[in-house]
């Protein structure tokens, strides 16, 4: 019986932890998308040199890659929560 309680407690802690992570990821992704919008506006609203345009394009590409990676992570976390299989992620 105690094993079941301990496992239930671990699952509960893991679910809270992963839910918190999902919220943090969502907020981070939203902030990065705002930055992406800002780059797009800056790119279209002002007259830029080729070097400045290239720099903005590189920043945009880096943001797109970061957003894609964070979206993948968020999807994985949400999938584990939805399956009822949350776990605490240990970083070494």
User: 64 with 36: CB under 8 angstroms?
Assistant: yes
Tell me if 91 is assigned to some domain: no
Residue 89 lies in a domain: no
The tokens describing 42, both together, are 């800056």
Q: Considering the domain boundaries, does residue 47 fall inside one?
A: yes
pLDDT over threshold 50, residue 56: yes
What value does the mean pLDDT take over residues 80-90? 75
Mean pLDDT rounded to a whole number for the chain: 88
Counting the structural domains of the chain, the total is 1
- Mean pLDDT in residue range 36-52: 89
Q: How confident is the model at residue 1 (pLDDT cuts 50, 70, 90)?
A: low
How far out from the chain centre does Cα 11 lie?
22
User: Which range of residues forms the domain containing residue 43?
Assistant: 2-83
Is the per-residue pLDDT at 88 higher than 70? no
């Amino acid at each position: 019986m105690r094993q079941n309680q301990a496992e239930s407690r671990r699952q509960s802690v893991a679910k809270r932890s992963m839910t918190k992570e999902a919220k943090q990821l969502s907020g981070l992704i939203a902030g990065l998308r705002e930055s992406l919008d800002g780059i797009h506006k800056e790119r279209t609203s002002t007259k830029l040199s080729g070097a400045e345009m290239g720099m903005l394009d590189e920043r945009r590409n880096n943001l797109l890659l970061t957003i894609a990676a964070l979206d993948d992570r968020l999807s994985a976390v949400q999938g584990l929560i939805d399956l009822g299989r949350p776990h605490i992620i240990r970083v070494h």
